[in-house]
């Protein structure tokens, strides 16, 4: 009987050690999981920041020089513009449809009189009009292209 009491005492003393060991293992596992899961969003945030920085880089598409006779005048207008696009995909689409882009621009320019485009306000209105007609879809199946800005790189009336 004395031996049975000693064995029961040893069994009871091992049980708290097993519980403590299990708690320590679970705590370490939980801490390790938290550490590794916490590290992943930082990588994602860095990737997102890099992607946002790349999106912030402007994509400019130069349009070859356009020359037209101005309406009701012997004068002509020669200008070069650049389109600021949202991304490189839009740039590829503009290149593909460049004849339509130029045609639309030439029609708008030929409808202007010298006094319509000589002032700063006239130039700004012309740029806005060029932006609007360039954003329109080139076919029924295409979505409109977002033109962020139209910039003048050359402007001559003679």
Axis crossing angle, helix 98-110 with helix 120-135, rounded to the nearest 10: 140
- Residue range 9-20: mean pLDDT, rounded: 68
- Residue range 111-134: mean pLDDT, rounded: 94
Total length of the chain: 158
Residues 6+ apart with CB under 8 A from 70: 76, 77, 110, 112, 113, 114, 117, 157
**Tens of pLDDT, residues 61-99:** 999 999 999 999 999 999 999 999 988 888 899 999 999
pLDDT-wise least confident of 24-28, 34-38, 79-83:
34-38
**Tens of pLDDT, residues 134-143:** 999 988 888 8
3-state SS of 91-154 is HHHHHHCHHHHHHHHHHHHHCCCHHHHCCHHHHHHHHHHHHHHHHCCCCCCCCCCCEEEEEEEE
pLDDT at 113 over 60: yes
């Amino acid at each position: 009987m004395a031996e049975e009491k000693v064995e029961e005492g040893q069994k009871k003393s091992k049980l708290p050690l097993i519980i403590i060991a299990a708690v320590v293992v679970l705590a370490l596992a939980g801490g390790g999981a938290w550490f590794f899961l916490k590290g992943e969003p930082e990588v994602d945030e860095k990737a997102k920041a890099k992607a946002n920085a790349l999106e912030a880089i402007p994509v400019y598409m130069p349009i070859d020089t356009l020359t037209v006779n101005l309406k009701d005048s012997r004068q002509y207008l020669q200008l070069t513009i650049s389109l600021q696009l949202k991304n490189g995909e839009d740039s590829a689409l503009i290149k593909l449809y460049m004849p339509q882009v130029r045609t639309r621009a030439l029609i708008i320019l030929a409808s202007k009189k010298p006094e319509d485009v000589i002032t700063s306000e006239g130039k700004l209105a012309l740029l806005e009009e060029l932006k609007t007609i360039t954003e329109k879809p080139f076919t029924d199946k295409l979505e409109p292209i977002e033109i962020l800005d139209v910039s003048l790189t050359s402007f001559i009336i003679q």
